[in-house]
Amino acid sequence: MITKPKGCYDIYGKEGKYFQKINEVVDMLALVYHYQYIRTPIFESSELFHRGMGETSDVVKKEMYDFKDKGDRNLTLRPEGTAGVVRAYIENKMYGDAVQPVKFYYNGTMYRYERPQLGRDRELTQFGLEILGTNDPISDAEIISFGYQVYQILGLKNVKVQLNSLGDKESRLKYREELIHYLKPHIGQFCEDCQERLKENPLRILDCKVDKDNPILKQVPKTLDYLNEESKKHFESVKEYLDLLSIPYEVDPTIVRGLDYYSHTVFEFTCEIDGKSLAIGGGGRYNGLVELLGGPSTPCIGFASGVDRVALAMQQEGISLEDDRIDAFLLYVNDEEKKYAVYLAQELRLAGFRVETEYLGRSLKAQFKQADRFRASFLIILNSEELDNNEVKVKNNHTKEEEMVSINMLIYYLDEQLSLLQEECGCDCCHDKGEENE
RNA sequence: GCGAAAUUGGUGAAGUGGUUAACACGCCGGAUUGUGGCUCCGGUAUGCAUGGGUUCGAUUCCCAUAUUUCGCCCCA
């Protein structure tokens, strides 16, 4: 048997529906927040990601999906969306466009060469936003607002916004030095990994799982204390706008994103699931990246969220999706009826009804079962003799009542009956049956 | 990149070095020759991830590979 590659997933069925729902909400919000859709290549020159994300990190060294094509070009499956968008911005000289800032949203698959484990696949789906060309704190607030609203509209209850500021480059470097200086005398008390981290990645010590309760960390210098005046002002302003927009947030000094390109505002969205808080999205300001990749100095902010994880969170919170019952199932037995079923199915579908029919030539009994599986509101039972009289038998699958309906009137009849059903039956009795236990 | 465990039909799974691989759900058919969701009856694995080996004989033992799960590194 040919199996899917390691760390990849087939998304379909119920999970597929969650994906569709998320996409729908993102598309809708993108429209009203006025973000244009961008679709960049799934692979890019390796250099783009390697330069953008900092050559030294483990991420680049061992966790990129690098490959060579037949022309011996070094390519990499995109590990995230921002670098591609920034490349497109520079390559298409969008910094010269009349409309500024440039606001994009995307939705697509990303790839990471990692050892898979729960919630960490090699292929994952993310949607994301970028605003390129403004440093105004209202853009920080807008990005966070967009993300927050996606989760709200999807119905997630336990989403938290955690906010921090790394300050500008100058503040960050100063902070890093201070942190190393502070931790160095005590580093013997930390786990081996942290002792390694001190040199390469001291900020990561702050959210080490092993040492999180070490009292030394309670007194640790905070990024916020090392912000220069301008950075501080920016951060204060972002918070004010978030208040204005009634977006709840917590300032959390341990939010330090992994990539080098972040500066100033950084944030994460987490969702409480089974007592664990799971990051479902995150982002921040990356004022230096456009320049690093060869464009003019351009302030930007972005956000990305893992669709897989959002879907998981929705599932865990028991958010139910729109009813997927069909309106009518066409039952038939002989060939004449079958032909009519095929014809009628198209007519009804084009009139906007959700219609199914029998494909496997099963017994009438089996067709009834099938119709129930589809949770059909109406059963249309075709009978040659009745067809000759231009009539079909329509059975209301809720009341079990049957009625002969003239074919001319069928569309009108179904329309009326369905709205009646909806009025009477906005109840639980026919919704979510058999949808539980998952 | 490192470490550990798992892999039996459409699904959940039990089980054994030796004739027919339990049970349940599902599915198909019948009882009910065009009205189902209940009941009863019957059917339902080219055979136990793949490739080697040990053996008179392996799904059961050994090795390798693949995938999955968990932990580490790292986290976009």
Check if the interface score ipTM surpasses 0.90.
Answer: no
Shortest-distance nucleotide from A81 CA to C1'? B76
Predicted confidence band of residue A434 (pLDDT cuts 50, 70, 90): very low
CA A113 to chain centroid, in Å, comes to: 20
Within this chain, do residues A305 and A335 fall inside the same structural domain, yes or no?
A: no
Q: Tens digits of per-residue pLDDT, A309-363?
A: 898 888 888 888 877 789 999 999 988 999 999 999 999 999 999 999 998 888 9
Å: A239 CA to B7 C1': 52
Q: What was the pLDDT predicted at A226?
A: 86
**Per-residue tokens: A416:** 């009326």
Is A360 part of a structural domain of the chain? yes
Backbone phi and psi for residue A143, each to the nearest 5 degrees, phi listed first:
-60, -45
**Can you give the pLDDT at residue A269?**
94
Residue A162 CA, distance from chain mean position: 18
How much is the pLDDT for A304? 95
Tally Cβ neighbours within 10 Å of residue A153. Answer: 15
**CA A75 to C1' B25, whole Å:** 48
Name the closest nucleotide to A332, judged by C1' and CA.
B34
Selected residue with higher pLDDT from A400 and A31? A31
Residues in chain A: 438
Whether residue A260 is contained in a domain is answered as yes
Residues A158 and A41 grouped into a single domain: yes
DSSP state of A257: -
CATH number at residue A333: 3.40.50.800
* A3 CA to B19 C1' distance (Å): 35
Q: Is residue A193 predicted with pLDDT exceeding 70?
A: yes
> Are A24 and A63 members of one domain?
yes
The position carrying tokens 């605003």 is A131
In this predicted structure, what is the pLDDT of residue A153?
96
- Asked whether the predicted pLDDT for residue A429 surpasses 70, the reply is no
Q: How far is the CA of A421 from the C1' of B66 (A)?
A: 52
Q: What is the pLDDT of residue A2?
A: 75
State the nucleotide closest to A4 in CA–C1' terms.
B67
Amino acid A192 CA to nucleotide B70 C1' distance, rounded Å: 22
Report how far residue A239's alpha carbon sits from residue A162's, in angstroms, rounded to the nearest whole number: 11
When the pLDDT of each residue in chain A is averaged and rounded to a whole number, the result is 88
- Cα separation values, A425 from A300, A321, A372, A398, Å: 50, 17, 17, 9
Cα A92 to Cα A96: distance, rounded to the nearest angstrom: 9
The pTM score is: 0.89
Nucleotide nearest to A193 (CA to C1'): B73
Say whether pLDDT at A273 is over 90: no
Here the CATH number for the domain that contains residue A127 is: 3.30.930.10
Q: Which nucleotide is nearest to A62 (CA to C1')?
A: B1
Residue A103, beta-bridge partner list: A131
Domain boundary at A272, A296, A316, which? A316
Q: Do A157 and A278 lie in a common domain?
A: yes
Question: Is residue A106 domain-resident?
Answer: yes
Residues A390 and A265 in one domain: no
What is the spatial distance, in angstroms and rounded to an integer, between the CA atom of A2 and the C1' atom of B25? 27
Q: Quick one: pLDDT band at residue A55, thresholds 50, 70, 90? A: low
Q: Is residue A271 part of a domain?
A: yes
CA distances from A141 to A10, A127, A413, A435 (A): 35, 18, 51, 38
A331 CA, B28 C1': Å apart: 18
Q: In this predicted structure, what is the pLDDT of residue A16? A: 87
Instruction: Determine, yes or no, domain membership for A83.
Output: yes
Same domain, A76 and A114: yes
What pLDDT band is residue A427 in, cutting at 50, 70 and 90? Answer: very low
**pLDDT above 50 for A438:** no
Instruction: Look at chain A and report how many structural domains it folds into.
Output: 2
Distance CA A412 to C1' B15 in A:
60
Claim to verify: residue A271 and residue A407 sit in the same structural domain:
no
Instruction: Tell me which residue of A185, A193, A186 sits closest to A210, measured CA to CA.
Output: A193
Nearest protein residue to B67's C1' (by CA)? A6
Cα distances from A299 to residues A15, A25, A164, A436, in angstroms, run 37, 27, 18, 47
Judge contact between A233 and A247, C-beta under 8 A: no
Out of A49-63, A102-116, A226-240, pick the least confident.
A49-63
Q: Are residues A310 and A337 in the same domain?
A: no
Residue-wise pLDDT for A348-402, tens only, equals 999 999 999 998 888 999 999 999 888 899 999 999 999 999 999 999 998 888 9
**A114 CA → B65 C1’, Å:** 19
Band (pLDDT 50/70/90 cuts) for residue A119 is: confident
As to burial, measured by CB atoms within 10 angstroms (0-12 exposed, 13-18 middle, 19+ buried), residue A416 is: exposed
Position A185 in a domain: no
Asked if residue A414 belongs to a domain, the reply is yes
Q: Where are the alpha helices (DSSP H) in A73-211?
A: 82-91, 137-154, 169-183, 192-200
List the nucleotides on chain B closer than 7 A to a protein CB: 1-3, 27-30, 32, 34-37, 49, 66-76
- Nearest nucleotide, C1' to the C-alpha of A385? B34
Q: How far apart are CA A370 and CA A397, in angstroms?
A: 13
User: Measured CA to C1', what is the nucleotide nearest A284?
Assistant: B76
Q: Say how far A1 CA is from B50 C1', in Å.
A: 9
Are A275 and A384 in the same domain?
A: no
Sheet of A378-381: strand order equals A355-357, A328-331, A378-381, A391-396, A402-406
| Structural domain range at position A338 | 328-424
Q: Which residue is nearest to nucleotide B34 (CA to C1')?
A: A364
A246 and A386 in a common domain: no
Nearest nucleotide to A362 by CA–C1' distance? B28
Average pLDDT value for residue range A35-61:
86
Instruction: Let me know if residue A402 belongs to a domain.
Output: yes
> A361: which nucleotide lies closest, measuring CA to C1'?
B28
Least confident of A81-85, A87-91, A111-115, A290-294: A111-115
Do A245 and A361 lie in one domain? The reply is no
- Among the candidates A316, A337, A368, a domain finishes at A316
- Strand, coil or helix: what is A113? coil
**Which residues does A82 contact at the CB level (< 8 Å), separation at least 6?**
A52, A128, A130, A286, A289, A302, A304
What tens digit of pLDDT does each residue of A274-294 get? 667 788 999 999 998 999 999
Closest nucleotide (C1' vs CA) to A373 is: B37
A284 CA → B22 C1’, Å: 58
Give the CA A74 to C1' B56 distance in Å. Answer: 57
Are residue A53 and residue A163 in the same domain, yes or no?
yes
User: What is the structure's pLDDT at A168?
Assistant: 86
Please compute the mean of the pLDDT values over residues A195-207 and round it to a whole number.
Answer: 77
Q: Which one of A265, A284, A316 terminates a domain?
A: A316
* Distance measured from the CA of protein residue A14 to the C1' of nucleotide B36, in angstroms: 25
